[in-house]
């Protein structure tokens, strides 16, 4: 069972969580719980790091930001004990949860689950802080924002759990963020492939890595709400969303929708390099150094060449890396041979995702038409087998998501707008 930040925000909420956990144990399950820091706490800690040193050492950043989960894991163990349950916390370094040494974005390697399993078998509820691990040289690492989802899936895989229940502040995965579109519909099932694509284009309900790990390790993941009444349906009867394999979904004989979901991501920034020489190797000199600096380039457009053998190149990078990208490209101005660098951090990427589009034409056309009818300008486009993404002005994010949700006939009919 994993509980996110809102579920852990304060004593009252933690008591609610403890009761949900206790009920699962009473139903006969052995339980390991992974917890997030209290909502807002990780942001607060990140800010302290920035104030202390704007060019902070990621290893020390990890020492600071991992502390939020240490607090909540201890508090949940205490609260469970107050309810009469046997419980103890297992910090990342105590198990340990081994990771690589990529501080602030570490990847989980191995988890030693022996002591954990022994304690669970003895009737103790194991409470594990999410987000944190231990590098080979015994330093604390963290897994990147939203990483507690990944901790939970990794622990579930390590102990061979029957299921990994991700409790959050919404009761499942919706066709789009229910906080943006009131008419979003809850999905009973979503495939790993679709969830992976949705997460990677901005549906932060699950961290992308948690989905790829679950897919690789075959972990059954369910997303559900911790904000339910104590006597509500137990987790076994799918009150939330189950992540399933493609074959499993076929077996369920569900009517397959063309589009599964729509996601928005405001954390990208646009870069335009003007008057780049239009010759072989030119773009390699742009993207080579960015790759070396570990900056992920997402959408790319090379415009039709102008006169005099020149062309404009447009692409997007994560907003957090914009300054670094700009500095790096500035230093390579001569080598690349561009004229000007223009950047825009006020953009958003809107994506529609669905396995159904593998076999259906017209998905992109519907998207472009719907946006055009509302006067929303498209600045860049990218596609994959099951996704179409467009880049637009950030101010039009909510409007675009709503318009597309209606255009693909996904609006719920039984709810007020």
Distance, CA of 71 to CA of 14 (rounded, Å): 12
- Examine residue 210 and tell whether it contacts ligand ADP (CB under 6 A): no
Measured CA to CA, the distance from residue 146 to residue 4 in angstroms comes to 9
224 three-state secondary structure:
strand
Interactions with ligand ADP, residue window 151-170 (CB under 6 A): 168-170
Closest distance to ligand ASP from the beta carbon of 188 (Å): 24
CA atoms within 13 A of residue 363's CA, in its CB half-sphere: 27
Q: Kindly identify the residues of this chain, within the stretch 30-69, that bind ligand ADP according to CB under 6 A.
A: 36
- From candidates 5, 68, 92, 129, binder to ligand ADP by CB under 6 A: 5
SS3 label, residue 324: helix
Nearer to ligand ASP, 145 or 324 (CB): 145
CB of 4 to Mg ion, least distance (A): 5
How far apart are CB 52 and ligand ADP at their closest, in Å? Answer: 25
Q: Minimal distance in Å, beta carbon 397 to ligand ASP?
A: 21
User: Under the criterion CB under 6 A, does residue 177 sit at the interface with ligand ADP?
Assistant: yes
The answer to whether residues 186 and 173 touch, using CB atoms and an 8 Å cutoff, is: yes
Closer residue to Mg ion (CB): 129 or 146: 146
Which residue of 66, 173, 325, 403 would you call a contact of ligand ADP, by CB under 6 A? Answer: 173
Binding ligand ADP (rule: CB under 6 A), the pick from 61, 90, 131, 174 is: 174
Tokens, residue 349: 């990427």
Residue 296, number of CB atoms within 10 A of its CB: 11
Q: How far is the CB of 231 from ligand ADP (least distance, A)?
A: 22
**Cβ closest to ligand ASP, residue 76 vs residue 249:** 76
Preceding peptide of 363 cis, ω within 30°: no
**Which of 92, 130, 133, 146 touches Mg ion by CB under 5 A?**
146
Contacts with ligand ASP, residue ranges (CB under 6 A): 4-5, 36-37, 42, 68, 130-131, 145-149
Expressed in angstroms, the distance from the first to the final Cα of the chain is 32
Q: How far is the CB of 5 from ligand ADP (least distance, A)?
A: 4
Query: Which residue, 180, 192, 208, is CA-closest to 241?
Result: 192
Query: Per rule CB under 6 A, is residue 79 in the interface with ligand ADP?
Result: no
Distance of CA 326 to the CA centre of its chain: 26
Edge-to-edge strands of the sheet including 341-344?
Answer: 300-302, 310-318, 268-277, 341-344
Which positions touch ligand ADP (CB under 6 A)? 4-6, 36, 146, 168-170, 173-174, 176-179, 203-205, 261
């Amino acid at each position: 069972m994993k509980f996110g930040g809102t579920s852990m925000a304060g004593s009252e909420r933690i008591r609610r969580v403890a009761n949900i956990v206790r009920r699962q144990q009473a139903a006969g399950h052995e339980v390991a719980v992974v917890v997030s820091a209290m909502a807002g706490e990780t942001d607060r800690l990140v800010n302290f790091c920035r104030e202390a040193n704007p060019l902070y050492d990621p290893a020390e950043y990890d020492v600071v930001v991992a502390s939020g989960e240490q607090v909540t894991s201890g508090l949940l163990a205490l609260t469970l004990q107050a309810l009469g349950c046997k419980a103890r916390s297992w910090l990342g370094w105590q198990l340990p949860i081994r990771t690589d040494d990529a501080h602030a974005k570490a990847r989980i390697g191995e988890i030693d689950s022996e002591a954990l399993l022994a304690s669970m078998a003895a009737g103790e509820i194991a409470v594990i802080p999410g987000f944190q691990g231990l590098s080979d040289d015994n330093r604390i690492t963290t897994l990147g924002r939203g990483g507690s989802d990944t901790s939970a899936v990794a622990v579930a895989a390590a102990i061979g759990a029957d299921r990994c229940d991700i409790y959050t502040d919404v009761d499942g995965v919706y066709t789009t963020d229910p906080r943006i579109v009131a008419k979003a519909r809850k999905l009973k099932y979503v495939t790993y492939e679709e969830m992976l694509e949705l997460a990677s284009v901005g549906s932060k309900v699950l961290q992308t890595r948690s989905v790829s790990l679950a897919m690789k390790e075959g972990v059954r993941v369910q997303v559900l709400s911790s904000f339910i009444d104590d006597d509500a349906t137990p987790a076994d009867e799918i009150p939330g969303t189950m992540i399933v394999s493609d074959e499993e979904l076929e077996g369920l004989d569900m009517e397959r929708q063309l589009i599964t979901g729509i996601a928005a991501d405001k954390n990208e920034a646009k870069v335009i390099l003007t008057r780049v020489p239009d010759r072989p190797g030119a773009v390699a000199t742009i993207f080579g150094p960015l790759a070396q600096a570990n900056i992920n380039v997402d959408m790319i457009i090379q415009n039709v060449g102008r006169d005099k053998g020149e062309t404009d190149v447009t692409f997007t990078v994560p907003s957090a890396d914009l300054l670094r990208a700009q500095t790096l490209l500035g230093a390579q101005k001569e080598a690349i041979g561009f004229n000007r660098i223009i950047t825009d951090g006020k953009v958003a990427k809107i994506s529609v995702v669905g396995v159904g589009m593998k076999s259906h034409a017209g998905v992109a056309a519907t998207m472009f038409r719907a946006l055009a009818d509302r006067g929303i300008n498209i600045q860049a486009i990218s596609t994959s087998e099951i996704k179409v993404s467009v880049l637009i002005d950030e101010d039009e994010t909510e409007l675009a998501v709503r318009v597309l949700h209606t255009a693909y006939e996904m609006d719920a009919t039984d709810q007020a707008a």
